[in-house]
Structure 1
Amino acid sequence: MTTRNAFIERLIVWMQDNMDKPFSIQDLAQRAGYSKWYLQKLFYQATHITLGDYLRDKKLEMAAKKLKYSKESMITIAITSGYTSQPAFIRAFKKKYKVTPSRYRRDSLCNFEPM
């Protein structure tokens, strides 16, 4: 494993551990000591996915889990997922899951089997 790949793996672990906190690509770059452009280049070379797409995907996965397993309001989930408005969150969620967040929550509740 190259030093760059090890660095990207550590970055991914940090992002996963802090996904519920607000941070931007610029914040990650400052933390890593690189420009945001260079960090994005390194990330893409190691993963073949853009850093922005990776973050968006992981934030939406976190939002889907919250919709399914919590009673947090949709606006709270949208904000903690990094969206500045509920409509922007709904559009992104629908693009990924092909269903609105409210429908996803409703369908998840109907299919939820208690342990």
Structure 2
Amino acid sequence: MSRRNTDAITIHSILDWIEDNLESPLSLEKVSERSGYSKWHLQRMFKKETGHSLGQYIRSRKMTEIAPKAEGK
């Protein structure tokens, strides 16, 4: 398996895990610990695969998840 495929699989797995844990406190440290990569390496891989920074992605997903719930209150 090529390095590119391995990175894509890792990032896809991380994306799934983030989606499953949006209601939990998520930090770069927690996500990198989950992935088994240093936060610096994971952030580079994530940016390369998605075009977004990992921190931006997490914040964006949390806001998207929270907004409908806040409107319903």
Q: Is TM more than 0.5 here?
A: yes
Q: Counterpart of 2:24? A: 21
Looking at structure 1, the residues matched to 37 and 13 of structure 2 have their Cα atoms a distance apart, in angstroms, of 15
Q: Which has the higher contact order (CA 8 A, sep 6+)?
A: 2
The answer for unaligned runs of 5 or more in structure 1 is: 72-115
Q: Is 1:58 paired with 2:61?
A: yes
RMSD over aligned Cα, in angstroms? Answer: 1.3
Looking at structure 2, the residues matched to 9 and 20 of structure 1 have their Cα atoms a distance apart, in angstroms, of 19
The answer for unaligned runs of 5 or more in structure 2 is: none
Q: After the TM superposition, which parts of structure 1 deviate over 3 Å for at least 4 consecutive aligned residues?
A: none
TM-score by length of 1: 0.57
Larger CA Rg, structure 1 vs 2: 1
Looking at structure 2, the residues matched to 39 and 7 of structure 1 have their Cα atoms a distance apart, in angstroms, of 9
Give the length in aligned residue pairs.
Answer: 70
Once the two structures are TM-superposed, the CA of residue 40 in structure 1 deviates from its matched residue by 0.3
Looking at structure 1, the residues matched to 32 and 58 of structure 2 have their Cα atoms a distance apart, in angstroms, of 14
Identity of paired residues, percent? 36
